[in-house]
Structure 1
Amino acid sequence: MTLIRFAKWDEKVRQANFKRFKSIARTMSIHNRNILNYFNNRSANASTKSYL
């Protein structure tokens, strides 16, 4: 997943106005670079692994 695809997903979640998804989207927005780094490079650090 690229940062652009994540941004599009994030925008759709915000427009859908589902409370539970907003919480997930907020967490993903805070940690998006670390999370996407794992999927793009299969490398992570301890803080990233705690979210996956």
Structure 2
Amino acid sequence: PILHKYKFNLEEVNVTNGVHPVDVTLPVTSIDNARLNIQLKEDECESCEPTTNPS
């Protein structure tokens, strides 16, 4: 639900539990009460706006 809130798709992010990747095909109970890290994949974010670097 949190990805949907910010208009991201699961295919656009990498999910880790600390340093280990999370198998997103497992039931949600496998990560119950876990703190997850979400990082956007650089070339796959269709809903993201391009960022500009201020000069």
Q: Normalising by structure 1, report the TM-score.
A: 0.21
Higher relative contact order (CA 8 A, sep 6+): 2
Comparing both structures, which one devotes a greater share of its residues to helix?
1
Structure 1 or 2, whichever has the larger Rg, is 2
Q: Normalising by structure 2, report the TM-score.
A: 0.21
